[in-house]
Amino acid sequence: MQKSLQFLDYVVFLVYFVIVAGYGLYIYRKKKRATTDSKDFFLAEGSLTWWAIGASLIASNISAEQFIGMAGSGFNIGLAISTYEWMAAATLIIVAVFFLPIYLKNKIYTMPQFLLTRYNKTVSTIMAVFWLLLYVVVNLTSILYLGALAVNTISGINFYVCMSLIALFAIFITLGGMKVIGYTDVIQVFFLILGGLVTTYLALSLVSEHFGETGVLKGFSLMTEHASDHFHMILKKDNPHYLDLPGLTVLVGGMWIVNLNYWGCNQYITQRALGADLKTARSGLLFAGFLKLLMPVIVVLPGIAAYVLHSQGLFQQEMVKAGELNPDNAYPVLMNLLPAGMKGLAFAALTAAVVASLAGKANSISTIFSLDIYKEIFNKTADEKEIVKVGRIVVVVAMILAIIISPFLGIDKKGGFQFIQEYTGFVSPGIFAMFILGFFWKRTTANAALFAMIGGFAMSIFLKFLPLWADLSSLYDLGLAVPNAQGVYEIPFLDRMGMVFVVCVVGMAIISLIAPAPDKSLVSATGGLKTSGSHALEVDASMFKPSMAFTVIALLICGILTALYTIFW
């Protein structure tokens, strides 16, 4: 396996870099107001089109953990891992219909601002600090580390040089503000999809050629024939990967909490739509939903193809790391088989995914610190220019911190996707409960929100380590616990999230009902609840009515999802 780029690969990559950097500089100079207006810098208020919002959502979401980690899961588990992508498409529709109108109607620009408006400053400040820690210590570090590791594996360039150059490129994009990020993300997504499809084409062609056939469709057919166990979306209890994807939970359980919290209550994601009008924002989320349907073709099918070829005796040495089979090598192995030029395109696609994710995450870190910490706590009189200056400093500081600490977190040992899910999963149920009840139940109190935040985290920790103290084998027949590789019975990760979410909702309801009912003078004319925050939270049924065009396209996405799950059940 050749771990190096040829001259033509460098040419292709240089073309990609020049296009992205040049277009970013053009947008920056064209939209100079972004240098002094905080809302324009952080949100690109009123400037992003629907296609820029949709592309930016995908560019921020897809990174090295998808390209490397999900391809590895495709090798190891199969098509079932696609549920993270395909269920996200359905989730984006729900967020567009029910979450966005509340944010936009109430002029919410950050997630801590929503908590301040709906609950109080204590809840808002605690969560702002938590999100900053999570984004820097978990998300930014894992994206940067895995991205550098992938680029190093494919190009042979020194790991720390890769990390520094990727961080520098991301800083360059981020310092231009959300307009630059949003519009350059369109180009990033173009390279991401084109380069990804090239790798998929190669993978399917290799399968067909190995069996003496030709064509990518024949290659797909041969994959379904020789790896039929890798083409089931719903896993049974006796499947060794049931702990990762526990049966119907991916359709009716914890997978919804993962996705609704990620796509609807996450500054990193929602920020792309918070500066647009409702029609544009909804259209952007629909476009992102369609792109999510395509993602498994780019990141999962190559992993399954690598599995088929490996089972036929190919890549025996290349798929081994430290003496053991390493599924995460699947995507780099395939990329290294690409001819000169094509490898440069795929390399550009991977780099685009990493840089776009880093830029999006850094911008969210900058936004929360500048607007919710610096402006609210340290300098309430700061003007727009100073807030933007602070935001830019935070981008650089956060990236330097990520470079310094990422090699010491054991990200490569856990696997990037698992690393992120494990740490965010401890708090996701509580955060989602806090948001969903805050949206739609006016009796919800700040004390109830604090219970979900702290109690949800404590229960997640308890359930995680419960198998160390108790034998859970009696729960096997109920499908609530299955043995891990060591034979210890555990509650699947997604099921734990579902249990914690239910406890958080019930606990919040009890705490809120015990508290005195809100004064009628605090209820707005539309039925929304006025809180002790900066302004009233307005919620009424008319906000949620989608346009006919939106409804038709949303039904089309749901129809495609139904067909996919029916075919590959």
Per-residue model confidence (pLDDT) at position 512: 92
Residue 321: beta bridge partners? 324
The secondary structure of 180-229, three-state, reads HHHHHHHHHHHHHHHHHHHHHHHHHHHHHHHCCCCCHHHHHHHHHHHCHH
Residue 482: beta bridge partners? 490
Confidence bin at 112 (pLDDT 50/70/90) = confident
To the nearest whole number, what is the mean pLDDT of the chain? 82
Per-residue model confidence (pLDDT) at position 513: 93
Count CB-CB contacts under 10 A for residue 569. 9
Residue listed under structure tokens 């938590």? 130
The secondary structure of 403-414, three-state, reads HHHHHHCCHHHH
Residues 465-485 pLDDT 10s: 888 888 888 887 777 788 877
Pairing of strands 482-483, 320-321: unpaired
- The answer to whether residue 84 scores a pLDDT higher than 50 is yes
Per-residue model confidence (pLDDT) at position 275: 72
- The answer to whether residue 31 scores a pLDDT higher than 90 is no
Per-residue model confidence (pLDDT) at position 38: 59
Task: Work out the angle at residue 534's Cα, subtended by the Cα atoms of residues 531 and 539, and round it to the nearest 5 degrees.
Answer: 50
Size (the chain), residues: 569
Per-residue model confidence (pLDDT) at position 552: 94
Per-residue model confidence (pLDDT) at position 449: 92
The CA distances from residue 159 to 86, 192, 437, in Å, are 33, 22, 45
* CA proximity to 146, closest of 365, 514, 509, 413: 413
Per-residue model confidence (pLDDT) at position 353: 78
Confidence bin at 367 (pLDDT 50/70/90) = confident
Write the DSSP symbol of residue 545.
Answer: P
Per-residue model confidence (pLDDT) at position 37: 57
Token pair listed for 89: 């498409």
* CA proximity to 284, closest of 50, 58, 66: 50
Residue 328: beta bridge partners? none
For residue 420, give every residue at least 6 positions away whose Cβ sits within 8 Å of its Cβ, in sequence order, or none. 65, 138, 139, 142
Residue 537: beta bridge partners? 529
Task: Work out the angle at residue 178's Cα, subtended by the Cα atoms of residues 177 and 180, and round it to the nearest 5 degrees.
Answer: 75
- Alpha-carbon 104 to chain mean position: 22
Residues 301-328 pLDDT 10s: 999 999 999 888 888 777 777 677 778 7
445-448 contact pairs (CB < 8 A, 24+): 445/119, 445/511, 445/512, 445/515, 446/119, 446/120, 446/122, 446/123, 447/511, 447/515, 448/507, 448/508, 448/509, 448/511, 448/512, 448/515
Q: What is the mean pLDDT of residues 323-338?
A: 79
Q: Which residue has the higher pLDDT, 200 or 409?
A: 200
Q: Which residue has the higher pLDDT, 33 or 378?
A: 378
Residue 489: beta bridge partners? 483
Confidence bin at 503 (pLDDT 50/70/90) = very high
The CA distances from residue 509 to 118, 426, 451, 452, 545, in Å, are 16, 21, 11, 10, 27
Q: Which residue has the higher pLDDT, 459 or 478?
A: 459
Query: What type of residue sits at position 407?
Result: P
Q: What is the mean pLDDT of residues 218-237?
A: 90
Per-residue model confidence (pLDDT) at position 190: 81
Token pair listed for 161: 């040089």
Per-residue model confidence (pLDDT) at position 72: 84
* CA proximity to 342, closest of 11, 3, 2: 11
pTM, entire model: 0.84
Q: Please, are residues 402 and 139 in contact by the beta-carbon 8 Å criterion?
A: no
Q: What is the mean pLDDT of residues 114-135?
A: 86
Residues 196-209 pLDDT 10s: 888 899 889 999 99
Confidence bin at 39 (pLDDT 50/70/90) = low
- The answer to whether residue 458 scores a pLDDT higher than 80 is yes
* CA proximity to 128, closest of 359, 375, 458: 375
Confidence bin at 45 (pLDDT 50/70/90) = low
Confidence bin at 522 (pLDDT 50/70/90) = very low
Per-residue model confidence (pLDDT) at position 360: 79
Confidence bin at 487 (pLDDT 50/70/90) = confident
Domains of the chain with CATH codes: 37-417 (1.20.1730.10), 425-538 (no CATH)
Q: What is the mean pLDDT of residues 445-471?
A: 89
> Percent of the chain having pLDDT more than 90?
20
* CA proximity to 187, closest of 352, 317, 393: 352
* 200, HSE (Cβ side, Cα atoms, 13 Å): 20
For residue 180, give every residue at least 6 positions away whose Cβ sits within 8 Å of its Cβ, in sequence order, or none. 24, 27, 28, 31, 34, 173, 174
Confidence bin at 490 (pLDDT 50/70/90) = confident
Confidence bin at 178 (pLDDT 50/70/90) = low
* 365, HSE (Cβ side, Cα atoms, 13 Å): 29
Confidence bin at 519 (pLDDT 50/70/90) = low
Q: Please, are residues 503 and 524 in contact by the beta-carbon 8 Å criterion?
A: no
For residue 242, give every residue at least 6 positions away whose Cβ sits within 8 Å of its Cβ, in sequence order, or none. 235, 236, 482, 492
For residue 337, give every residue at least 6 positions away whose Cβ sits within 8 Å of its Cβ, in sequence order, or none. 1, 202, 206
- The answer to whether residue 507 scores a pLDDT higher than 80 is yes
Backbone angles phi, psi at 324, to 5 degrees: -130, 150
Q: What is the mean pLDDT of residues 286-315?
A: 90
Q: Rounded to an integer, what distance in angstroms lies between the CA atom of residue 180 and that of residue 182?
A: 6
Q: What is the mean pLDDT of residues 150-167?
A: 84
Q: Where are the alpha helices (DSSP H) in 237-341?
A: 249-252, 254-264, 267-270, 278-299, 301-311, 330-335
Q: Rounded to an integer, what distance in angstroms lies between the CA atom of residue 125 and that of residue 112?
A: 7
